[in-house]
Amino acid sequence: MKNIFTLFALILFSFQLQGQLFYQELIRTFTIPEIEQLRDDMELPEGLLPINYEVDVYKILYNTPYKHLDSLVQASGAIFVPKNTECPVPLGSYGHGTQSIRSNVASNLNGGQWEVSLFFAAAYGYMITNPDYLGLGDSDPAVKIHPYTHAFSQSHTTVNMLRSARQLAESIDIEMNGQIFLYGYSHGGFTTVATHRLIEEEFPEEFHIAASAPMSGPYDLIDAQVDLIISTEPYATPGYLPYIVLAYKEMFPDLLEDFIIDEVFVPPYNTLLPDLFYSGDYSIGYINGQCTPVPRDMISPQVMSEFENDPNHPLRQALAESHMLDWAPQAPIKLFYCNGDEQVTYLNSELAYDAWTNNGAPNVEKVDLGDLTHGECAEFAFIQALFFFEDHKTCWGTLNNHNISKEEIEVFPNPTKGWIEFKGIEDRSEIRVVNAIGKEIFNGTTDLRKLDVSSWNNGFYFFEIEDTLSDKILIGKFSILK
């Protein structure tokens, strides 16, 4: 009995330490001209990414579980903090794509697609966490290889970085608005879904997910991804298969006890691939070039035959642990993908949409961005995700701080090109409107319960109206799209 209580105490202590921020360092401040120059160098659309804020970038170290809840290890990441925002700040998390070089991470401003986080912070005032992930950056050296597409470790790493970000915000006096936005591309799309599921299943009272945008990720590890593994056709990124095999061997030592790496891969890949991945010095692009065009050709024919024909194969069981289709997300979630994607089949997104809808998800959408490659799809997906988030972001903290209750009301048409009309208010009501970054656009009265916005720019707007009859503040949002 004593041992049981001791184990319980250790697990409770470990849980309390999860997300504990124990190191923070301001590593760079980006000025508005610097961010504008970076945006222009990357040929991104100025009209869609207006740079409104300077951004401080912090490197942090924090605790997170590795293989189970009581196996805490050090993780690292970067946090992008917009400066001098008018709105209380929403908190977002960006999941980066496949990375195999240990130093190519956001906390080094090197790889890790950190620019995506910088633009979300600089343009629209989001505070963005960018986890390096375990096995990358300054994470615990005991993590031999990044646990690629492993839902438990990646979702907990992300959730605990969100916790650390709140500690950072308190220490530097940043007001948060309580909203969480999750997004990620490719491998990061998988992480986004895994994090969304973890929060809703285990921490719904701690985090409020306003919206999540998984983009071109491998969500279906049982069917769509297994089909790629057993396929006899060439694959654009064959290094993904050994990455999964090597990572899962580390993460499931009991389940894959008989899965001997030296016997799983045929020579020379049985020695070449572990050296490439474990070193942390080689890019996934370089590793892809060292692989056979057909991924299964690196696997022993006997092992591949057993995997292909045994529905209960240990590797299939391990993949099923991170399968993302067997739940129903409750917060708004929108899948972005491209049907021309040569690296992550679009079927992942379409099957996820069908499964989640059938499971009863109340607010799930999918957006096929067209016949674009994996690389081409990214920019369009990021911009669409940003618009999706803006439609769910709130800015109430910048409006009048009345000690009376607030109630949402509707306007129509929404979106509009010219006039908007408010439901259920008196004519000549006092109204204040701010734009998406909290700048006051209008402070006056309505005319016949209407407001002329024909001269205003496209975008998202928040308003509040003081209703003297009900002694409430009526709030809402609308968008202009001409």
Q: What is the DSSP string of 58-114?
A: EEEEEEEESSSTT-EEEEEEEEEEESS-SSPEEEEEEE------TT-SGGGTSSTTH
Angle between helices 314-321 and 240-251 (to 10 degrees): 90
- Rounded to whole angstroms, how far apart are CA atoms 419 and 450? 7
| Among the listed residues 374, 387, 399, the one whose alpha carbon sits nearest the alpha carbon of residue 49 | 387
Could you give the dihedral angle defined by the CA atoms of residues 214, 218, 222 and 227, in that order, rounded to the nearest 10 degrees?
140
Task: Give backbone dihedrals phi and psi of 472, rounded to 5 degrees, phi first.
Answer: -130, 160
- Rounded to whole angstroms, how far apart are CA atoms 463 and 457? 16
| Among the listed residues 146, 161, 159, 141, the one whose alpha carbon sits nearest the alpha carbon of residue 61 | 161
Please state the domain extents for the chain: 18-221+322-390, 224-321, 402-480
Tokens (6 digits) for 283: 């890019």
CATH of domain 224-321: 1.10.260.160
Tokens (6 digits) for 446: 């309505």
* Angle at 262 (CA atoms; ends 261, 264), nearest 5 degrees: 55
| Per-residue pLDDT, 1 | 41
- Rounded to whole angstroms, how far apart are CA atoms 350 and 365? 10
Helix (H) or strand (E) holding 191: helix 187-202
pLDDT tens string 4-56: 443 333 344 444 578 889 899 999 999 999 999 999 999 888 877 889 999 99
365 SS3 class: strand
List residues bridging with 405 in a β-sheet.
none
- Rounded to whole angstroms, how far apart are CA atoms 389 and 396? 16
- Rounded to whole angstroms, how far apart are CA atoms 186 and 120? 18
| Among the listed residues 442, 474, 475, 393, the one whose alpha carbon sits nearest the alpha carbon of residue 85 | 393
402-480 is classed in which CATH architecture?
Sandwich (2.60)
- Rounded to whole angstroms, how far apart are CA atoms 202 and 425? 41
Low-confidence ranges of the chain (pLDDT < 70): 1-16, 112, 396-406, 436-438, 468-471
| Per-residue pLDDT, 410 | 83
Helix (H) or strand (E) holding 337: strand 333-337
441 SS3 class: strand
Residues constituting the chain: 482
Quote the DSSP letter at residue 3: H
Quote the DSSP letter at residue 37: H
pLDDT tens string 240-277: 999 999 999 999 999 999 999 999 999 999 999 999 99
pLDDT tens string 413-442: 988 988 999 887 777 788 888 876 667 789
| Among the listed residues 125, 141, 120, the one whose alpha carbon sits nearest the alpha carbon of residue 87 | 125
Q: Is omega for the bond preceding 413 within 30 degrees of 0, making it cis?
A: yes
Helix (H) or strand (E) holding 130: strand 127-131
- pTM for this entry: 0.84
CATH of domain 18-221+322-390: 3.40.50.1820
| Per-residue pLDDT, 36 | 96
| Per-residue pLDDT, 428 | 76
Query: Percent of the chain having pLDDT more than 70?
Result: 93
Largest separation between any pair of C-alpha atoms in the chain? 80
3-class secondary structure per residue, 301-329: HHHHHHHHHCCCCHHHHHHHHCCCCCCCC
Q: How many CA atoms lie within 13 A of 11 on its CB side?
A: 8
- Rounded to whole angstroms, how far apart are CA atoms 11 and 65? 11
| Per-residue pLDDT, 11 | 40
Query: 226-235 as b/e, with b when 16 or more CB fall inside 10 Å?
Result: bebbeeeeeb
276 SS3 class: helix
